[in-house]
Amino acid sequence: MEEGRQEQGEEAETEAEVEERPCGEGGDQFDRLHDAVLLDVLNRIGDVKALGRCALVSRRFHALVPLVDSVFVRVDCVIPDDPPHSASAGPGSPQQQHHQAPAAARGRGALAHFARVLLGGIARPIHALGQILSPAAAAVSRRAEPQPASPPAPAADVSHHSPSEVLRSFKELRRLHIELPTGELGIDDGVLLKWKADFGSTLGSCVILGASSVSSKPTSPSAQPEPAADDSTAASPDSNRETEDLGSVPESLYTNGGLKLRVVWTISSLIAASARHYLLQPIISNHATLESLNLTDADGQGVLTMDKRQLQELRVRPVSASSSSHRTLMPALSMRLHYAPLVELPGGTLLKGATLVAIRPSEDALRESQGVGAAGSVGTCWISEAFEEPYRTAAKVLLKRSPYCLEMNSF
C-alpha cells in the first residue's frame, strides 16, 4: 500500500513539473517556430477550407492565415437560373437544385446540337457561374444571416459563399486556383472536348482538342476497327504512313456535318472561356498582389489562365463586355483547324474524328506571320504544350496535319 501511494505521489509531482515547464521544454512547439515558417506551411496547405479551420486554432493562426499568398478554392455547387416553383425563392435561393437534361433527351442533328450547346448547354451554366462567383448573388442567399462587426477570417466552408467573399480576407494573395464543380459544356457520353485559354483584357490564345469518340484499342487482332474509307491511315505517333496524308484535309471532315460540329465545339468553348474571364474581374480588382490565376473545373474540360502581365493588363485596360450576355467580347479571330479521322495514343487509346483548333486574335496572328520564326517551334509550343499527356501527344500529332484556316468576326 505504501509503495502504491509513493508511486502515485511521484506521478503527481511529474505532472506538476510538466505543467510548470516552459513551452520550449514540452509545451506548444508551434510557439518556437517563426511566422515565416508557419506561413510556408500554410501556403503548402493552400485549400481554403483547411485554411479556414486553421484560422480557428489560435489567435496567432487567425492572424497568419490572411497573409497566405497561395490559395486553392474548390467551388462545391453551382445554382442554375431555372425559375423556382415558389415566388419567394430568388436566383440565389438554396431551394434551387442543379440538374441537367438526360442524355437520351438531347437533340440530334447539326441544328439541334447547335441550339442545345449554345443555348441550353451554355446559357444556364454561365448564369449559374455568375451566381457562384458574384458576391451579390451570394449575399441574397444569406440576407437573413447576421453580419459580423469585424472582417471575418477565411471561411471554413465555401458551399454558401462566393469565391470573392471567401478571398476577401486574404491580403497578400499571389497565386490563386479556383475549381468549378463541372464544365459548362454539356456533351454526349464518349465525346472528348477540352480547351485551354489565356486572357489579358481580352483573349490572348485558345487551344481546343476534341474527338467524336474515345475508345480503347481492341486486344484481339481480328477485332481491329476498319479505318475510314476516305483516309486509310491512322494518325499515330509511331505511324510511318501518316506523311502520306499531311498535305490535304481528309474528306471525312466535310461529310455528315463534321465541320459544322467542330465549329460548334469552337464557338461553345470560346463562349465558356469568355464567361469565366468576365466573372473573374471582381476578384482581380480586389487583389492587386495577384500574379497567377487559374480557373479550372473538376471535369477537366476547360482551363483559363492569367499570368502577372495579363493580370496587370486587365487592371489597366477595362474589359469590353459583350452586349448580349455577361462575358468578355471576343475580338476578330484567326483559327487553324487540324483534323485526323483516327489518332492512336500511347496506351492504346483511340480518338476518332480527332480535332485540334488553335485560335489567336487576327491582329496577333498577322503580326506573327510577318515576324521571323513565327511558324517554327517557338510559334507552336503554346499549342503542343496546352494539354497534359496523353492529350499532348495527340496535339503534336495533329499539328503535323494540314490545317483548315478560318476567320471569325468579333462576337
Q: What is the DSSP string of 134-180?
A: -HHHHHHHTTTSPPPSSPPPPPS--TTS-HHHHGGG-SS--EEEEEE
Predicted confidence at residue 249, as pLDDT, reads 65
Say what the pLDDT of residue 70 is: 94
Nearest partner of 167 among 8, 47, 44, judged by Cα? 47
pLDDT for res 204: 93
How far apart (Å, rounded) are the C-alpha atoms in residues 315 and 284?
8
pLDDT, greater one: 89 or 125: 125
Q: Write out pLDDT tens, residues 156-190.
A: 444 456 778 888 889 999 999 999 988 888 778 88
What pLDDT score does 259 carry?
87
CA distance 403 to 177: 34
Mean pLDDT, rounded, of the chain: 73
pTM: 0.69
- Report the candidate in 54, 85, 82 with the shortest Cα–Cα distance to residue 67: 54
Contact 206, 195 (CB under 8 A): yes
Strands 333-344 and 403-408: antiparallel
* Residue-level pLDDT at 251: 72
If you average pLDDT over residues 93-101, what whole number do you get? Answer: 39
State the average pLDDT over residues 212-233. Answer: 60
Report the pLDDT averaged over residues 222-237. Answer: 44
pLDDT of 136 strictly over 80: no
Q: Mean pLDDT throughout 108-122?
A: 40
Question: Helix or strand or coil: residue 306?
Answer: strand
C-alpha grid cell, residue 162: 462566393
Highest-confidence segment of 95-109, 124-138, 260-274: 260-274
Question: Residue 97 and residue 109: Cα distance in Å, rounded?
Answer: 29
Q: Of 16-20, 167-171, 393-397, where does mean pLDDT reach its minimum?
A: 16-20
Residues 52-91: b if buried by 16+ CB within 10 A, e if exposed: bebbeeeeebeebbbebbbbbbebebbbbeeeeeeeeeeb
**Burial (CB count <10 Å: 0-12, 13-18, 19+), residue 333:** buried
Which cell goes with 53? 479551420
What per-residue confidence (pLDDT) applies to 375?
Answer: 43
pLDDT(14) > 70: no
Q: Is 135 exposed, middle or buried (0-12, 13-18, 19+ CB in 10 A)?
A: middle
18 has pLDDT over 60: no
Q: What is the pLDDT of residue 387?
A: 92
pLDDT at 197: 96
Question: Residue 210: enclosing H or E segment and its boundaries?
Answer: strand 203-211
Largest Cα span, the chain: 100
User: Stretch 274-282: mean pLDDT, rounded?
Assistant: 91
Residue 111 pLDDT grade (very low, low, confident, very high; cuts 50, 70, 90): very low
CA–CA dist 119, 113 (Å, integer): 10
pLDDT of 3 reads 57
Out of 11-25, 213-227, 310-324, 377-391, least confident range? 11-25
- The grid coordinates listed for 273 are 472561356
Using the predicted structure, report yes or no on whether residue 269 has a pLDDT greater than 50: yes
Stretch 145-161: mean pLDDT, rounded?
A: 45
* Torsions phi, psi for 274 (to 5 deg): -70, -30
Long-range CB pairs of 221-229 (<8 Å, 24+ gap) are 225/342, 225/350, 227/341, 227/342, 228/252, 228/341, 228/342
Whether residue 212 is predicted with pLDDT greater than 70 in this model: the reply is yes
